[in-house]
Amino acid sequence: MARCLITGVAGFIGSALARAVLAQGDQVRGIDNFATGKRENLGEILTQMDFRQVDLLDLEALREACVEVDYVLHEAAIPSVPKSVLDPLGSNRANVDGTVNLLVAARDAKVKRVVYAASSSAYGDTPTLPKREDMTPNPISPYAVAKLASEHYMISFYRCYGLETVALRYFNIFGPRQDPPSPYSGVLAKFITRMLRGEQPAIFGDGEQSRDFTYIDNAVEANLLACKAPAGQAAGQVFNVATGRRVTLNETFELLQGLTSYTGQPGYGPERGGDIKHSLADIAKAKAGLGYKVEVDFEEGLRRTVQWYRGR
Ligand code: UD1
């Protein structure tokens, strides 16, 4: 039985990972500072894990959290492009300083492997699609810079100290438990909750921007595969985690009209600063290196997500 330390365990992705790790019979130690995570995301699994309220800026607490840990799944972050534009220092502290602290603690505790929640935002607004891992990154927002910097720290700790690290560049992960709508929530969580209440969703720009929206189960599977993949294929590497298909916000809105019975139109407003226009992944490297495949496609993911929000 392995022991996994999940950072950001009370978040949308962290709590889904915890459920999957427990379901395969392994142990979970989870940390969260509740900056964006919610205790309610843990629900029934809180008593099945070793939960600690810890901030990534507390190195001593991280050292204790890493004792006898096999794998670290590092999801904790302030995961918002617009928030980072407003507060670049806060973004850097949580997304970079916190990551370096965790890497030092994991290295000293001789953890087997650290898997990192990197971001497709690192690619920025380069015209070439799909995005491949060997393209030169061109981040726009402070958030994207922070995520890319931490990705480089992952690779550095492998090269300098031999700590096995794997960076997974998530492309717009969505699904149950994604932030209830705040100004910083992901677009699908906002669209779905608004449309189910019969309220008009807001589209920033013309709605022709596109994303490779990826259902949460695919990201969870990628993490489990990244723990087990042979070091020669995975350690010190970066992998896209996505579906290899993009949809526009306008298309997404239409699909959601069918699923939520919302009959109105979206409200169009100005584009959001720091945004990229299009995002689409090439997932060949993850397929070859991790054995990754898309388990749940976009439409099925949307259906499951709408169903979950409807049940709340
Ligand atoms: C998202 C993630 C980020 C992740 C990145 C790559 C969130 C909050 N952010 O960033 O952590 O690193 O994907 O995987 O999940 N929009 C609207 N109306 C709204 C909200 C957003 O039109 O009410 C638009 C935005 O302007 C943008 C698009 O929808 O064009 C997607 O925005 P968002 O869901 O915030 O995701 P990303 O910025 O792509």
Task: Tell me how far apart the alpha carbons of residues 120 and 108 are, in angstroms, rounded to a whole number.
Answer: 29
Burial class (CB in 10 A: 0-12, 13-18, 19+), 128: exposed
The position carrying tokens 């992944």 is 281
Q: How remote is the CA of residue 34 from the centroid of ligand 1, in Å?
A: 21
Beta-bridged to residue 211, according to DSSP, are 247
The closest residue, in CA terms, to atom 32 on ligand 1 is 187
Average pLDDT of the segment spanning 236-248: 98
Closest protein CA for atom 29 of ligand 1: 187
Q: Residue 284 above 80 pLDDT?
A: yes
The candidate with the shortest Cα–Cα distance to 297, out of 239, 247, 238, is 247
pLDDT at 180: 74
What are the residue boundaries of the structural domains of the chain, listed by start?
3-173+214-244+282-295
Strand 27-32, strand 173-174: pairing = unpaired
Give DSSP secondary structure letters for the chain.
Answer: --EEEEETTTSHHHHHHHHHHHHTT-EEEEEE-SSS--GGGTGGGGGGSEEEE--TT-HHHHHHHTTT-SEEEE--S---HHHHHH-HHHHHIIIIIHHHHHHHHHHHTT-SEEEEEEEGGGGTT-S-SSB-TTSPP---SHHHHHHHHHHHHHHHHHHHH--EEEEEEE--EE-TT---S-TTS-HHHHHHHHHHTTPPPEEESSS--EE--EEHHHHHHHHHHHHHS-HHHHTTEEEEES-S--EEHHHHHHHHHHHH---S-PEEEPPPTT--SB--B--HHHHHHH----SS-HHHHHHHHHHHHHT-
Q: What phi, psi does 222 have (nearest 5°)? A: -60, -40
Q: What is the pLDDT of residue 241?
A: 98
Atom of ligand 1 nearest to the CA of 184: 8
Cβ neighbour number for residue 291 with a 10 Å cutoff: 13
Give 275 Cα–ligand 1 centroid separation in angstroms.
8
Give the model confidence (pLDDT) of 134-186 as tens digits: 999 999 999 999 999 999 999 999 999 999 999 999 999 999 999 877 777 89
- pLDDT (mean) for 239-266: 98
The predicted model gives 33-56 an average pLDDT of: 97
Is the pLDDT score of 125 beyond 90?
no
Split at pLDDT 50, 70, 90, the class of 247 is very high
Between the CA of 186 and the centroid of ligand 1 the distance, in Å, is: 5
Residues within a 6 A CB radius of ligand 1: 79-81, 119-121, 170-172, 184-187, 190, 202-204, 209, 211, 249, 272, 275
Q: Which atom of ligand 1 is nearest to the CA of 185?
A: 8
Which residue has the CA at smallest separation from atom 1 of ligand 1?
A: 172
How confident is the model at residue 198, as a pLDDT?
A: 97
45-100 pLDDT, tens digit each: 999 999 999 999 999 999 999 999 999 999 999 999 899 999 999 999 999 999 99
Let me know if domain 3-173+214-244+282-295 sits in CATH 3.40.50.720. Answer: yes
Q: Are 232 and 283 in contact (CB under 8 A)?
A: no
Average pLDDT over residues 232-260: 98
Pairing of strands 113-119, 71-74: parallel
Please say whether the beta carbons of 94 and 245 come within 8 A: no
Quote the ligand 1 centre to 74 CA distance (angstroms): 20
Ligand 1 atom with the shortest distance to the CA of 201: 23
The pLDDT value given to residue 202:
97
Residue of the CA atom closest to atom 13 of ligand 1? 172
Query: What's the pLDDT at 276?
Result: 87
Query: Ligand 1, from 204, 250, 251, 278: best to mutate by most atoms within 8 Å of Cβ?
Result: 204
137 vs 33: CA distance, rounded Å: 30
Q: What's the Rg (C-alpha) of the chain?
A: 18
Q: Which of 245, 251, 258, 183 is nearest to 218 (CA)?
A: 245
Residues belonging to the active site: 143
Cis amide prior to 201 (ω within 30 degrees): no
pLDDT band at residue 42, thresholds of 50, 70 and 90? very high
Q: What is the pLDDT confidence band of residue 3, given thresholds at 50, 70 and 90? A: very high
Q: How many angstroms is it from 152 CA to the middle of ligand 1?
A: 23
Written as six digits, the tokens of 68 are: 């006898």
Which residue's CA is minimally distant from atom 19 of ligand 1?
A: 187
| Across 219-231, average pLDDT | 98
pLDDT at 273 over 90: no
What percent of the chain clears pLDDT 70, i.e. is strictly above it? 100
Instruction: Please give the Cα distance from 152 to 285 (Å, whole number).
Output: 18
Mean pLDDT of the chain: 97
**pLDDT score for 179:** 87
- Rounded-to-integer distance, Cα 21 and Cα 221, Å: 10
Distance 121 CA to ligand 1 centre (A): 10
Residue nearest to atom 7 of ligand 1 (CA): 186
Q: Hey, what are 89's tokens? A: 């220092």
